[in-house]
Structure 1
Amino acid sequence: MSKKLMTIVLAFCMTFGFGTSVLGYSNPFSFTDSWNWNNGNFYGEGDPYILKFNGTYYLYVSTVDDKAGVKVWSSTDLVNWTYRGLCAVDAITKAAYAPEVVYWNGYFYMYTSPGGNGHYVLRSESPLGPFTVQTGNKGLGIDGHVFIDDDGKWYFYRTGSNNITVNPMSDPYTFGAGSNTGANMNGWTEGATVFKRNGKYYMTYTGNHVWNNAYRVDYAFGSSPTTGFAKQTKQNPILINSEGPNDGLGHNGVVVGPDLDTHYIVYHSHAEPGRRFNMDRIVWNKDQMIVLGPTTTDQPNPDQPLFSDRFERSSIGTGWTNVNGGTWGIFNQELMWQNTIGNATWYRQITTGSTAGSYTAEFNMKQMKQGTSAAPRYGAVFSYIDENNFGHAVLNRNTNSLETQFRVNGVDQGILSSVLPSGYDYTKWHTIRIEKVDSTYKVYVDGMLKQTRDNITLGGGKVGYTTSDAHADFGYVAYSNKVNGSNAWYAAMPVPGTVEAVHYMTGSEGMAYHDTTSENIGGEYRNTAVDIRSSAAEVKYVVGWNQTGEWLKYRVNVASTDTYDVDLRVATNLNGAQVRIWDGSTDLTGVRNVPNTGGWENWQTVTLKGLSLTAGIRELRVEIVTGEFDFAGMKFHQAASVSNVFDDFNDGNDNGWVRFEGNWVVENGELSSEGGIFGKTTIGNEQWADYTVESDIKLIETTGDAGILVRVNNPANGKHLVDNPDYLQGYYAHIKTNGVYLGKFNYGWTSLTNSAMSIPANTWQHMKVVVSGANIKVYVGDMATPKINYTDTSSNPFTHGKVGLRSMYNHTHFDNFKVSP
């Protein structure tokens, strides 16, 4: 790319807030200096945890079982990592499982469970170590994680009895009695990560045995850090891939990216042997946490902030403006300082660039000395226009508090003071974070939300540092015009994958959307003319009041040039609605009908097939051609033509089938599954959409059941290191001696419907299952009239997947299996 063209691209990205990300990384990552066993086999980067400190990220991973020490890497962009050596070398760190590091008040505390045998706490004055052992064995289950709440209270999360257990902490070394948080995976549960967002406590956690291909991640949230974490069954698992080269996804961490707003989930996958590091973007829709993954193709590098400074130079330079004097300088090309004390003058260094009206900013600082005035203070300046219009958030050592003050048109709005935790050491590094949405400011200190100030009539402005009668050092500073998850409006959503309707591109009328009203009728989420409301049924924000001729544009990152199907989530009580999807000037779908769903909260899935998409970053436009319907989102699938399959097993084998658990044999031209166990076997392509599946089925025993699997995704062996019959996603149409049944697997089991019918043992029954969109018809005996006619109106219907056979504690024979397009 020429320098002139690069300048044009950068100017466009800065103008419209896209950042300068390019397709730059893909999962899994490769690291230098990975852990290896003594025999040379790869061990890799299992159980990854990332700490952000003073603008730099530090990665810690589990230690190989036959060595001691904890390795650490550092990065400023989450993509390019530099190995920094062993940060701990004590013999106790042999096989240090899941080391996690917390910064607090000048010290870095490491929690790890060597070989899974209890926990130890180590401490250092640097994220690079050396960490030294501070405690004996504290016991407690593996995979310890520390969360510090807004009030400064500490909590330790770890494995319990098939759940995540929490222990309140009175200090970094002392653990109270444990209690069940409510988070579990219906079996072994580990690897918790907890964070707080908009007043809710979120927990991600991993289930299953680490070496089962279906190792996976769920999430839950609640209103307490200790109890009542509600599993989000409609969305879980949020990370799973049981087949292919990048399977066994689990033990994650969550970190905020360089743009100060985007959450990323980091996790490991199987490397056969060993484990590798992976990372995917998280976006938000109301309370819903949505992972844009798992991905294995090129993804945009994490966005950088609009402005940042690490002071890696010898002078302050032209990017800053001094206000009111003071003595400012640069130390060791790593921080800025101001050392004039002895009076109450507010000295400031202000950036030359400015934020937008809503933004996030981060500041890092520590005090070296202070004067004898009533209130020596130091901290952050933001929304700065001039000395008559600005806000500041400063630390006051004398009162152990955070103080904020806003001046609007020369009028001070009043100082608000918030007490900080006892024992705060102001000579150590602390972080102030500002989140501004319209006229509301949230102010955080060291990750703790300390103040929310509303109705402050300041817009965007410059940021900077300030002191009053204090000598202070100032570290990494950055701002971004993204806040409270607005990164989703800029992101290129991976395809295949899910796109939320409210995550249309940022931009103006006619560029990112067309809406016939001048305001957001629903008044929710975004300040554009697009009409957004909250849906009780979908439990998130949706785009409503869509009228003829309106459209929304979405940035997507298409994995490969191929044919795709897309599932639209729609609701309407009107007839005649139509939709069309464009890629630029290319009509991808033609005009398609949207059915009357019977109400604005009666959501249904409509599948549009055969979209020819080109690889790379694209801008797709969803057009409301005629009529009116509400729009919740869309899910893209790679599509493949359904093949004709017939197997009468007369060749004496079941070649082409993949057996999982169970005892399967081919005998006398029939496929047999022995009784006393559950088992499944699959065939076909997970990209298949609509098809008919038929089979003859004979129950040999009167207990249990057997039948046909459709729309199968992520099957795994539920007997490999575990004992669980629910290891798949898809639908199961089956027979018992008293009827025909339909249920849904999503690494758990949900009964959907049934129809009474006498089905004697040792009698052949012919079953046919027809799947079309979200509709499933099940025929037994009578091939003209279905015994079951069911449409999955849930928010997560399975519309693509393989086929298979299953038996559940019944000796069953199968024959004449057939799949038709």
Structure 2
Amino acid sequence: MKPWRTLILGAAALMLLPVQTYAYSNPFNLTSSWRWANNDFYGEGDPYILKFNGTYYLYVSTVDDQTGVKVWSSTNLVDWTYRGLCTTEAVTKAAYAPEVFYWNGKFYMYTSPGGGGHYVLSSDSPTGPFTVQTGNLGMGIDGNVFIDDDGKWYFYATGADTLIARPMPTPTTFGAPVATGLSMAGWTEGSTTFKRNGKYYMTYTGNHVWSTAYRVDYATSSSPTTGFAPAAGQNPMLIDTEGANVGLGHNGMVQGPDLDSDYIVYHSHAHGGNAVYPGRKMNMDRVVWNGDKLLVLGPTTTAQQNPDLPDFEDRFNRTAIGAGWTNVGGGTWGIYNQELMWQDTIGNTTTYRQVTAASSAADYTAEFHAKQLKQGTSANPVYGAVFSYTNESNYGVAVLSRNLNRLETNFVVGGVSQGWQHAALPTGYDYTKWHSIRVEKAGAAFTVYVDGMKKQTRTVSGLGGGKIGYTTTDAHADFGYAAFSNKVNGSSAWNAYKPLPGKIEAVHYMNGGEGGAYHDLSAGNLGGTYRSGDVDIRNSAAEGKNIVGWNQTGEWLKYRVNVAETGYYDLDVRLATTFTDATFRVWDGATDLTGIVAAPSTGDWESWKTVGKKGLYLTAGNHELRFEIVKGEFDLSGLTFSRGDATTALLDDFNDGNDNGWTRFEGNWSVTGGELASAGAGAFAKTTIGNERWADYTVESDIKLVDTTGDAGMLVRVNNPANGTVLANNPDYVQGYYAFLKPDGVYLGKLNYGYQALASAPMTIPANAWQHMKVIASGTTIRVYVGDMNTPKITYTDNSANPFTHGKVGLRTMNNATRFDNFRVSP
């Protein structure tokens, strides 16, 4: 996995095999939160986290009527200590979205005070003091920096309702603007760019910070500046418009303490602020990967598993090296100021090492931090990391050469050198400053990063896991935070407890072998992709990700889940099969949750459908669920669990003169003469009622189009509705299906903060004439009836990867003054 563009080094205790027994929950309650001068709560808006020296540093936006930037620190992403103001420069009054990047000994802060253009500040420490380095550079708001593998810098900020990229010749200078093409059809801000497996990702936020529909999308590209395409079927990637924690946005990304897991950090609206500015609080949720698909395990508001710690870490916060390390080859080693380890013998070409007593597993991720103080007069003094170390006949090294300005790697297997290979480092590299080395070992592949830049991938057979450590040859060097984790390329997702309600990728079954994490009847992974072991995994072109294939009768897979609350849940299983008699069931320990469920033929192994089972009773807390293939064969893409409540019958004929129980979002609604009226000519409007946990139901209404333009109809499976006129002008602020009438016919569309046409049928709908419409939502099939209540005008099954299977009901008008009456919901 590509690490985020931050470095890692610091000071804390050596630790082996940590056990997580506690949990965090959103939103965070930090000490020393920003408050207005009148003491109203402002909080932690636009949170950004830098990882440096094994320690995390949190920076947030400054309240508008005060000056300075606050900083907190943590070693685990959960427990935060306030470190004070890291700058008090006058230009930081209302410093919006400060982000800090480390490079070559300096920390650079980018912020747009009051949204009035950007300044760059710098410091020698992540806690400051930061001093101003530039004048006002303009460039919108919410600046974000990305450093590519070749050491080139890029700056991203808002443009005219879009995001603009700029190449950066230096950390304080900016080139010509380049349009990324990304927009949320309105105000767009808060981007974060990173790279993973050769692909560029950008997360970005819209539409306005005080809208409940503030949300996060993501896009990908093969270029750091152009060609970004929103992730099809996966946006919004983060949204919640109703409940206690809404207005989710302006995210950053950070790698967890275990060196492998990823987290999305964002803010939500806070309670306790004033009426105009409600304040914001920080949130954090897990990100997992399947192929190049980014999936957020959230948003969550209940207790979640704390980020895992490494399997080994050392911050050298002691006075002596101790028994946890072994000297190999001599040299003079010691501890300085209880914060780093050093070796200062130079003047010869002898290689000196310190290696840990702890050894990694065969696959792992390791991180190292080093800087050179002096060097001898030999041709090529070097210093850096050793890994996969068993003895002097079996190990790997990744070292930095100041004289040749490069990374050098070598592997020794069975006493035989595999040969030195080199990778150039950026011009002007200062080797007397801290630099990080990261090693990812997956199978026989070793990938090496320097300061987050991917520099080498080498295939080396015959070398497993082993000890890690530091090495020097004719160099006096300091060594900082060292750690390894027995996880790599996102494998931390496998044993993570996935929050329910939520989605589980089929390939994210538990770590472990036959009979423990799974039962598989065929030898080896028939698809040969993603994971080792006997479970058969292939890449599905139709799904655009890895799936579990060749499932046979009697096989099973286990998944870890974290159930938010006790109650009934509905399960949707995404599968493909040509068998006509396939079945499955799900167990919670010895409890059969589902009974035997039929998995009907989908017609082809790349034709995917969603099969549902309702009424699974789950208790709150952590569980290990077992998915069993009872009969036949089918390929499995994923499982989605939703809270499910029985649909309650509802009738509103509006004869009481009001629309109590309905939630109006836009438009000019009124109850007149026993009818619900929307004065929607030239505008849009929606109103909703019911329970977001409803699944299958019938909804009916009498509808009269008053005008000869526009449309009107019913909403089903409604989720995350919001007012599209609050600081915006967008009619599609809702998720669900829209069955509607126009003068020329009956239509069905899908709304997901954008509109997708699904189906239509011609029909003459005269103005000022009542029509009776009925919509039946059952599983993933939507049937729309108009007039004739026996034969549907439209029958549509949503076989996409993201069908809406639960939600409220509602009414909607678009540019039509419409009347509604006799609205009914039936189970």
Q: Could you tell me which of 358, 361, 367 is aligned with 1:362? A: 367
Q: Could you tell me which of 556, 559, 562 is aligned with 2:564? A: 559
Q: Secondary structure at the match of 2:62?
A: coil
1:771-810 pair list within 5 angstroms: 771-810=777-816
Q: Could you tell me which of 523, 529, 532 is aligned with 1:527? A: 532
Q: Deviations over 1:750-800 (max 9, x none)?
A: 000000011111000000000011000000000000000000000000000
Q: Does 1:473 align with 2:478?
A: yes
**1:304 aligned residue:** 309
* Unmatched segments (≥5 aa) in structure 2: 1-14, 272-277
**2:506 aligned residue:** 501
Determine the C-alpha separation between the residues in 2 that align with 1:535 and 1:418.
Answer: 35
Q: Secondary structure at the match of 2:507?
A: helix
Specify the code of the residue in structure 1 equivalent to 2:178: S
1:238-249 pair list within 5 angstroms: 238-249=237-248
Q: Could you tell me which of 804, 811, 817 is aligned with 1:811? A: 817
1:357-396 pair list within 5 angstroms: 357-396=362-401
Shift of 1:233: 2.8
Determine the C-alpha separation between the residues in 2 that align with 1:532 and 1:483.
Answer: 18
Determine the C-alpha separation between the residues in 2 that align with 1:477 and 1:115.
Answer: 40
- For the aligned residue pairs, the C-alpha RMSD in angstroms reads 0.9
Q: Could you tell me which of 670, 674, 684 is aligned with 2:690? A: 684
Q: Kindly indicate whether the alpha-carbon contact (under 8 Å) linking 2:25 and 2:304 is maintained by their aligned counterparts in 1.
A: yes
**2:39 aligned residue:** 40
Q: Deviations over 1:135-166 (max 9, x none)?
A: 00111010000000000000000111221110
Determine the C-alpha separation between the residues in 1 that align with 2:199 and 2:613.
Answer: 36
Specify the code of the residue in structure 2 equivalent to 1:116: G
**1:770 aligned residue:** 776
Q: Secondary structure at the match of 1:487?
A: helix
1:721-736 pair list within 5 angstroms: 721-736=727-742
Q: Deviations over 1:488-547 (max 9, x none)?
A: 111000000000000000001000000000110011100010000000111000001000
Shift of 1:322: 0.6
1:55-74 pair list within 5 angstroms: 55-74=54-73
**2:181 aligned residue:** 182
**1:256 aligned residue:** 255
Determine the C-alpha separation between the residues in 2 that align with 1:393 and 1:323.
Answer: 17
Q: Does 1:613 align with 2:612?
A: no
Q: Deviations over 1:732-765 (max 9, x none)?
A: 0000011000000000000000000111110000
Determine the C-alpha separation between the residues in 2 that align with 1:770 and 1:20.
Answer: 49
Determine the C-alpha separation between the residues in 1 that align with 2:640 and 2:590.
Answer: 22
Shift of 1:809: 0.5
Q: Deviations over 1:551-590 (max 9, x none)?
A: 0000000001110001110111111000100000000000
Shift of 1:22: 3.1
Determine the C-alpha separation between the residues in 1 that align with 2:683 and 2:185.
Answer: 19
Specify the code of the residue in structure 1 equivalent to 2:170: D
Shift of 1:374: 1.0
Determine the C-alpha separation between the residues in 1 that align with 2:604 and 2:785.
Answer: 30
Shift of 1:643: 0.5
Shift of 1:457: 2.7
**1:338 aligned residue:** 343
Q: Secondary structure at the match of 1:765?
A: strand
Determine the C-alpha separation between the residues in 2 that align with 1:138 and 1:188.
Answer: 21
Q: Could you tell me which of 515, 521, 525 is aligned with 2:520? A: 515
**1:9 aligned residue:** none
Determine the C-alpha separation between the residues in 2 that align with 1:679 and 1:23.
Answer: 46
**2:579 aligned residue:** 574
Determine the C-alpha separation between the residues in 2 that align with 1:66 and 1:33.
Answer: 16
Determine the C-alpha separation between the residues in 2 that align with 1:607 and 1:23.
Answer: 34
Q: Could you tell me which of 445, 452, 458 is aligned with 2:450? A: 445
Q: Secondary structure at the match of 2:492?
A: helix
Specify the code of the residue in structure 2 equivalent to 1:240: I
Shift of 1:456: 3.7
Determine the C-alpha separation between the residues in 1 that align with 2:21 and 2:237.
Answer: 25
Q: Kindly indicate whether the alpha-carbon contact (under 8 Å) linking 2:251 and 2:264 is maintained by their aligned counterparts in 1.
A: yes
Q: Deviations over 1:102-142 (max 9, x none)?
A: 00000000000000011000000000000000000111010
Q: Could you tell me which of 751, 754, 758 is aligned with 2:764? A: 758
Q: Deviations over 1:334-364 (max 9, x none)?
A: 0000111111111000001111111100001
Q: Could you tell me which of 291, 294, 315 is aligned with 1:289? A: 294
Provide TM-score, normalisation by structure 2.
Answer: 0.97
Determine the C-alpha separation between the residues in 1 that align with 2:219 and 2:268.
Answer: 22
Q: Secondary structure at the match of 1:92?
A: helix
Determine the C-alpha separation between the residues in 2 that align with 1:593 and 1:375.
Answer: 68
Q: Does 1:192 align with 2:197?
A: no
**1:129 aligned residue:** 128
**2:743 aligned residue:** 737
**1:349 aligned residue:** 354
Determine the C-alpha separation between the residues in 1 that align with 2:652 and 2:267.
Answer: 38
Q: Deviations over 1:310-334 (max 9, x none)?
A: 0010000111111011111001100
Specify the code of the residue in structure 2 equivalent to 1:518: A
Specify the code of the residue in structure 1 equivalent to 2:739: A
Q: Could you tell me which of 626, 635, 639 is aligned with 1:634? A: 639
Determine the C-alpha separation between the residues in 1 that align with 2:719 and 2:357.
Answer: 53
**2:426 aligned residue:** 421
* Unmatched segments (≥5 aa) in structure 1: 1-13
Determine the C-alpha separation between the residues in 2 that align with 1:812 and 1:39.
Answer: 47
Specify the code of the residue in structure 2 equivalent to 1:731: Y
Q: Kindly indicate whether the alpha-carbon contact (under 8 Å) linking 2:669 and 2:678 is maintained by their aligned counterparts in 1.
A: yes
Determine the C-alpha separation between the residues in 2 that align with 1:295 and 1:253.
Answer: 17
Q: Secondary structure at the match of 2:605?
A: strand
Determine the C-alpha separation between the residues in 2 that align with 1:437 and 1:183.
Answer: 34
**2:467 aligned residue:** 462
Q: Kindly indicate whether the alpha-carbon contact (under 8 Å) linking 2:411 and 2:460 is maintained by their aligned counterparts in 1.
A: no
Q: Secondary structure at the match of 1:755?
A: strand
Determine the C-alpha separation between the residues in 2 that align with 1:141 and 1:496.
Answer: 38
Shift of 1:21: 2.3
Q: Kindly indicate whether the alpha-carbon contact (under 8 Å) linking 2:407 and 2:425 is maintained by their aligned counterparts in 1.
A: yes
**1:93 aligned residue:** 92
What is the aligned residue count?
806
Determine the C-alpha separation between the residues in 1 that align with 2:96 and 2:20.
Answer: 34
Determine the C-alpha separation between the residues in 2 that align with 1:581 and 1:259.
Answer: 31
**2:662 aligned residue:** 657
1:578-593 pair list within 5 angstroms: 578-593=583-598
Determine the C-alpha separation between the residues in 1 that align with 2:218 and 2:239.
Answer: 12
Determine the C-alpha separation between the residues in 2 that align with 1:47 and 1:409.
Answer: 52
Q: Deviations over 1:33-64 (max 9, x none)?
A: 00000111000000000000010000000000
Paired-residue identity, % = 69
Q: Could you tell me which of 643, 646, 649 is aligned with 1:644? A: 649
Shift of 1:375: 1.0
Shift of 1:23: 4.2
Determine the C-alpha separation between the residues in 1 that align with 2:216 and 2:285.
Answer: 13
**2:29 aligned residue:** 30
Q: Kindly indicate whether the alpha-carbon contact (under 8 Å) linking 2:354 and 2:470 is maintained by their aligned counterparts in 1.
A: yes
Determine the C-alpha separation between the residues in 1 that align with 2:122 and 2:613.
Answer: 56
Shift of 1:454: 1.5
Determine the C-alpha separation between the residues in 2 that align with 1:105 and 1:596.
Answer: 59
Specify the code of the residue in structure 1 equivalent to 2:29: S
Q: Secondary structure at the match of 2:264?
A: strand
Q: Kindly indicate whether the alpha-carbon contact (under 8 Å) linking 2:239 and 2:720 is maintained by their aligned counterparts in 1.
A: yes
Determine the C-alpha separation between the residues in 2 that align with 1:163 and 1:523.
Answer: 41
Q: Secondary structure at the match of 1:599?
A: coil
